[in-house]
Chains A and B, each alone.
Chain A
Amino acid sequence: MSSMDFWILLTGSLAAVSCAILGCFLILRRMALMGDAISHSVLPGIVVAYMISGSRDSIYMLIAAAIMGLLCVLFIQWFNNRGIQSDASIGVVFTSLFAIGVVLVSMNARQVDLDLDCVLYGEIAYTAWNTLQIGGVDLGPRSVWLLGGTLLLVLAVIGLFYKQFKLCAFDPMLAAALGIPAALFHYLLMGLVSVATVSSFESVGAILVVGLLVIPPSTAYLLTDRLGVMIGLSAASGVAATLLGYLIAIWLDASIAGCIVAAAALLFAAAFLLSPKHGLLAAKLRHSRLSRSAA
């Protein structure tokens, strides 16, 4: 394994673990597509930051994207509070913001050399070359630092407030009755999803972020009945998908991000069919045993 392979796998795995942990709370709160919405809404922020700073990997871009992500969440919540179903308000908000972004890009087509494909698909293959240098010392790929920092933040916040996040996901009514500020934890979770999305998509692409936020947690959801175990399994299946996907990408000479999502989907399909508790096969077996004992 070359050092380039190593950095790609490390980047992918760090993004996978952050997304896989946060995704568990998203799917339990039935907001699986929030990641989709946030990752598309950041486009206008990126364009504006790019127009101001003129470079693709500036800190401004990250900040602007994070602000747009949070704005997107606020808009969705605001419309939701005014009686629009949550999935509809997600759909309205992110398409509008993305449209603004596309219009901004096309209005400034000459100045903005932003490859939309790159934003959507990401270019994890180039990770190793974009290194962080401080005082002339090469500290390794920038995205590894960024995603590593994101993962630490996610672990710290979720670890500290695990019981609040859990109760708000399971029974928000009781949480409110107990005096736990449910709205605060909602925005905290969404803020973390924004940060994870923004720091991931530059290196792995929006579509991979959406996949990693939904597919590994769903796989884990089919394998266990404990939230703690679910989070662990979700992270593990995210890393496994990264490794497997990278191998497939080399074999097929195809997009790494696409292959990682496809590998995550394969793992999900396996859990869907074979999970000992909630799998299709297990259900079939239970069913036939029941009908046999009835006969």
Chain B
Amino acid sequence: MISLWDSIAALASDPNLRWITLGCMLLGLSSGMIGCFAYLRRQSLMGDTIAHTALPGICVAFLLTGVKSLPVFMLGAVAAGILGTLAIRVITARSRIKADAAMGIVLSSFFGIGIVLLTMIQHSGDGSQSGLDKFLFGQAAAMVASDVSLMGGVSLVLAVVCALLFKEFKLLAFDPAFAKGAGFSVSLLDFLMQALVVTAVVAGIQAVGVVLVAALLITPAVSARFWTERLGRMVVLSGIFGMASGLLGAWISSQAHQLPTGPVSVLAAAAVFLVSVLFGSKRGLLTVRLTRRRARLNLQQASASSVKEAG
């Protein structure tokens, strides 16, 4: 018990830890909110794809500038991510390749090219390149204050934009044809949405890593779906789940020094997901069982009463 209070006190008093915790929570909030729209547009794996496209972007940014700094890497990654989403759109619109295959193609070919660039940089013998790929595996604990404030700031902006454009994004996710009819520029909205997803993914890569950053978008959103049938509540809930995962991740990893923040946050989100699947008030396993039982009982009552009427 004492250690628990100690750790909470430490969390509150250690400024570095406090920043990292706040950064992870903001990241979870914005990813969770944006992830809802990706989920409803059936683009859950877009985050995974974009995370992988970041590698060549980072490599090119390094090759062009020769510096290792987070803002430069993020710019390169965002550019590559947008290029990747455009490639997916061109492939699905101009051929009979379906969205899932297009994502697989873009994901693996961008990452493959990224590895080629990475090995070329490494083989060129430039000493400063070491750690370029460490960016990809996610080491929140190794982030310096400026990295954390950049991540937190970007996340905050994303959450605000997402809240401001809630109505438009809702329309886009539910009925793009109607949105077009109602006078919205669907292609602009779509581009904005994709840009938000790309930025959220890129902001999260350094903290969580390429493979796991997709979970920040998907897992809270899917979990929230089990608790509500309303988009507004789903977005809020998903943001809260994301924030809680970030908090738990930062806190648990501050307790055990070997534990990396990112993967622990993802596991916290997975735990929330499991609870939601089992006990979610709208679509959880327990609820579904109960409604099915009730439906069966209602049927039996109805048929019993109709027999009575007939008799």
Chain A residues engaging chain B, CB cutoff 8 angstroms: 27, 30-33, 35-36, 40, 79, 82-85, 87-92, 95-96, 98-100, 102-103, 106-107, 109, 116-117, 121, 207-208, 210-211, 213-215, 217-218, 221-222, 249, 252-255, 257-262, 264-265, 268, 272, 278-280, 283
Contact B113 A258 (CB under 8 A): yes
Q: When A254-B123, A258-B115, A262-B112 are in contact, do A33 and B212 touch as well, CB less than 8 Å?
A: no
Q: Which residue of A lies closest to B45 (CB)?
A: A87
Which among A33, A107, A265 is the interface contact of B100 at CB below 8 angstroms? A33
Cβ distance A266 to chain B, nearest Cβ, rounded Å: 9
Contact A214 B101 (CB under 8 A): yes
CB neighbours (8 Å) of B98 from chain A are 27, 30, 32
Contact B218 A82 (CB under 8 A): no
Contact B45 A91 (CB under 8 A): yes
Chain B residues engaging chain A, CB cutoff 8 angstroms: 39, 42-45, 47-48, 52, 91, 94-98, 100-105, 107-109, 111-120, 123, 133, 137, 209, 211-212, 214-215, 217-219, 221-222, 225, 256, 258-260, 262-264, 266-267, 270, 273, 277, 283, 285, 288
Cβ distance A34 to chain B, nearest Cβ, rounded Å: 9
Contact B267 A265 (CB under 8 A): no
Cβ distance B48 to chain A, nearest Cβ, rounded Å: 6
A219 to B212, CA, bound (A): 29
Contact B45 A85 (CB under 8 A): no
3 tightest A-B CB contacts, nearest first: A261-B112, A258-B115, A211-B108
Contact A92 B39 (CB under 8 A): no
Cβ distance B272 to chain A, nearest Cβ, rounded Å: 11
CB neighbours (8 Å) of B262 from chain A are 99, 102
If over half of A's interface residues share one DSSP class (helix, strand or loop), that class is named, otherwise mixed; here it is helix
Q: Which residue of B lies closest to A93 (CB)?
A: B270
Which among A33, A121, A211 is the interface contact of B45 at CB below 8 angstroms? A33
Cβ distance A152 to chain B, nearest Cβ, rounded Å: 25
Which among B47, B107, B217, B267 is the interface contact of A103 at CB below 8 angstroms? B267
A88 to B214, CA, bound (A): 10
If over half of B's interface residues share one DSSP class (helix, strand or loop), that class is named, otherwise mixed; here it is helix
Which among A89, A103, A121, A221 is the interface contact of B260 at CB below 8 angstroms? A103
A146 to B22, CA, bound (A): 48
Q: Which residue of A lies closest to B39 (CB)?
A: A88
Cβ distance B155 to chain A, nearest Cβ, rounded Å: 19
Contact A82 B45 (CB under 8 A): no
CB neighbours (8 Å) of A87 from chain B are 42-45, 100
CB neighbours (8 Å) of A264 from chain B are 109, 112
Contact B133 A117 (CB under 8 A): yes
Cβ distance A260 to chain B, nearest Cβ, rounded Å: 7
Q: When A32-B103, A214-B101, A278-B96 are in contact, do A121 and B215 touch as well, CB less than 8 Å?
A: no
Contact A215 B108 (CB under 8 A): yes
Cβ distance B287 to chain A, nearest Cβ, rounded Å: 11
Cβ distance A202 to chain B, nearest Cβ, rounded Å: 17
Cβ distance A17 to chain B, nearest Cβ, rounded Å: 17
A106 to B260, CA, bound (A): 7
Q: Which residue of A lies closest to B215 (CB)?
A: A95
Contact B42 A99 (CB under 8 A): no
CB neighbours (8 Å) of A106 from chain B are 258-260, 263
| Residue among B48, B112, B117, B283 having the largest count of chain A Cβ atoms under 10 Å | B112
Q: When A85-B39, A88-B44 are in contact, do A252 and B116 touch as well, CB less than 8 Å?
A: yes
Contact A36 B111 (CB under 8 A): no
Q: When A82-B285, A214-B101 are in contact, do A280 and B116 touch as well, CB less than 8 Å?
A: no
CB neighbours (8 Å) of B270 from chain A are 92, 95-96, 99
CB neighbours (8 Å) of A218 from chain B are 97, 101-102, 104-105
Listed by A's residue number, 24 A-B pairs whose Cβ atoms lie within 8 Å are: A27-B98, A27-B101, A30-B100, A32-B103, A33-B100, A87-B44, A95-B266, A96-B266, A102-B260, A106-B258, A116-B137, A121-B115, A207-B52, A208-B108, A210-B108, A213-B104, A214-B108, A215-B105, A218-B104, A252-B116, A255-B116, A258-B116, A261-B113, A272-B95
Known: A95-B266, A252-B116, A261-B115. 16 other contacts (CB 8 A): A85-B42, A91-B48, A92-B270, A99-B264, A100-B267, A107-B259, A218-B101, A222-B96, A249-B116, A253-B120, A254-B115, A255-B116, A258-B114, A259-B116, A265-B105, A265-B112
